[in-house]
């Protein structure tokens, strides 16, 4: 793939990340946002071109990346597809896929080659090496799948192909929305305690608090969308409550035998993951990069 890349929402966090990524790879990049002055300023700082509108940005682009908020992305995909050259490529990077895939399918019918991409990292990632990128085919165009895979694989990314939006959102309920939820809950609980948690924390708290604090450093509007727009997550939350009630009951009843049974069964299931055996050692290695105690 060669030529000019347009990033819609190129003023945002991931848009800027992708602009830098493509500039480094030698592409000519143009970005758009809603406010031309802000777009021009950010484009200058990135060393890329600024477009006055989304239409102008995509006009001569070989590849268009839609990096706008989740709810806005389907509308933008439909808008830009009308102005793109036939045969050029369009992908979104939204964290919830249900609605974007419909818009990408419509664009595909208009002669635009589409695919859906989900980078499983945030704008803090220094590079893409060892980072996971999910690709969801929108059509049976294997060429576009190959081209986009190569774009990321060349830089060391791990590519996972997911068959459709439904599977993506179901899996993301567990791998994205649930960890966020658990950390938000943990943050709410510890911040409502009337002592300084970090001061009394040991090893587990040090890493847990770091993850929670990094979650709370993110954009609340993106995080609320990930919690609320993924219909599979509301189903998972019902299971969350059922499992929590079950555990609470075991603890309240001081039922050690049942607790150990649940613990062992879950451990057996988790230990099927090859990473399990090294988890404890890796935990201590990770701790070395965290300042555990305020001295």
Ligand X SMILES: NC(=O)c1ccc[n+]([C@@H]2O[C@H](COP(=O)([O-])OP(=O)(O)OC[C@H]3O[C@@H](n4cnc5c(N)ncnc54)[C@H](OP(=O)(O)O)[C@@H]3O)[C@@H](O)[C@H]2O)c1
> Quick check: 183 binds ligand X (CB under 6 A)?
no
Q: Which of 1, 13, 102, 240 binds ligand X (CB under 6 A)?
A: 13
β-strand partners of 132: 158
> Quick check: 94 binds ligand X (CB under 6 A)?
yes
How many CB atoms are closer than 10 A to CB 37?
Answer: 9
Q: Please tell me the distance from the alpha carbon of residue 99 to that of residue 78, in angstroms, as a whole number.
A: 11
> Quick check: 14 binds ligand X (CB under 6 A)?
yes
Q: Which of 4, 5, 6, 12 binds ligand X (CB under 6 A)?
A: 12
- Going 175 to 221 to 58 to 18, the CA torsion angle's sign is negative
Q: The sheet that has 4-8: what strands, in order across it?
A: 49-50, 28-32, 4-8, 63-66, 89-92, 113-119, 132-137, 158-161
Closest among 212, 146, 153 to 184, alpha carbons compared: 212
Residue 13 or 83: which CB sits closer to ligand X? 13
> Quick check: 15 binds ligand X (CB under 6 A)?
yes
Angle, CA of 126, 169 and 87, to the nearest 5° = 70
- Start-to-end CA span in the chain (Å): 53
Q: Least distance to ligand X from the beta carbon of 96, Å?
A: 7
Helix, strand, or coil (residue 192):
coil
> Quick check: 38 binds ligand X (CB under 6 A)?
yes
Closest among 103, 100, 106, 108 to 165, alpha carbons compared: 100
Residues from 42 through 71 that contact ligand X (CB under 6 A): 54, 67-70
Residue 12 or 250: which CB sits closer to ligand X? 12
Helix, strand, or coil (residue 135):
strand
Q: Which of 76, 77, 173, 209 binds ligand X (CB under 6 A)?
A: 76
Q: Which of 11, 88, 108, 227 binds ligand X (CB under 6 A)?
A: 11
How many CB atoms are closer than 10 A to CB 260?
Answer: 11
Q: Least distance to ligand X from the beta carbon of 210, Å?
A: 17
Q: Which of 56, 78, 122, 155 binds ligand X (CB under 6 A)?
A: 122
- Per CB under 6 A, the segment of 93-101, 145-153, 196-204, 206-214 that binds ligand X is 93-101
Q: Which of 24, 25, 34, 282 binds ligand X (CB under 6 A)?
A: 34
Phi and psi at residue 230, in whole multiples of 5°?
-90, 105
Under rule CB under 6 A, how many of the chain's residues touch ligand X?
28
Residue 8 or 64: which CB sits closer to ligand X? 8
> Quick check: 261 binds ligand X (CB under 6 A)?
no
Residues from 213 through 252 that contact ligand X (CB under 6 A): 219, 222
Q: Least distance to ligand X from the beta carbon of 239, Å?
A: 24
Q: Please tell me the distance from the alpha carbon of residue 138 to that of residue 164, in angstroms, as a whole number.
A: 8
> Quick check: 29 binds ligand X (CB under 6 A)?
no
Q: Least distance to ligand X from the beta carbon of 248, Å?
A: 33
Buried b / exposed e over 159-170, threshold 16 CB at 10 Å, is beebeebeebbb
Give residues in contact with ligand X (CB under 6 A): 8-9, 11-15, 32-35, 38, 54, 67-70, 72-73, 76, 93-95, 119, 122-123, 219, 222
């Amino acid at each position: 793939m060669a030529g000019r890349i347009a990033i819609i929402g190129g003023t945002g966090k991931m848009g800027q990340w992708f602009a830098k990524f493509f500039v480094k790879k030698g592409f000519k990049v143009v970005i758009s946002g809603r406010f031309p002055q802000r777009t021009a300023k950010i484009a200058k700082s990135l060393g890329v071109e600024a477009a006055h509108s989304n239409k102008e940005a995509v006009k001569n682009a070989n590849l268009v990346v839609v990096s706008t908020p989740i709810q806005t992305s389907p509308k933008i995909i439909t808008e830009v597809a009308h102005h793109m050259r036939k045969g050029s490529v369009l992908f979104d990077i939204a964290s919830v896929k249900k609605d974007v895939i419909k818009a990408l399918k419509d664009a595909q019918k208009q002669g635009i080659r589409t695919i859906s991409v989900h980078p499983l990292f945030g704008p803090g990632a220094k590079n893409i090496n060892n980072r996971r990128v999910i690709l969801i085919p929108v059509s049976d165009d294997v060429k576009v799948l190959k081209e986009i895979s190569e774009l990321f694989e060349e830089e060391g990314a791990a590519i996972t192909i997911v068959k459709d939006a439904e599977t993506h959102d179901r899996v993301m309920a567990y791998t994205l929305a649930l960890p966020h939820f658990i950390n938000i809950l943990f943050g709410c609980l510890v911040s409502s305690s009337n002592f300084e948690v970090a001061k009394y924390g040991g090893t587990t708290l040090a890493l847990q608090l770091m993850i929670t604090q990094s979650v709370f450093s993110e954009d609340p509007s993106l995080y609320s969308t990930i919690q609320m727009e993924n219909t599979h997550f509301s189903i998972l939350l019902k299971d969350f409550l059922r499992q929590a009630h079950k555990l609470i009951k075991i603890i309240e009843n001081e039922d050690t035998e049942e607790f150990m049974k649940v613990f062992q069964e879950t451990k057996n299931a988790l230990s099927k993951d090859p990473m399990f055996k090294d988890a404890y050692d890796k935990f201590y290695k990770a701790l070395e990069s965290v300042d555990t105690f305020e001295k």
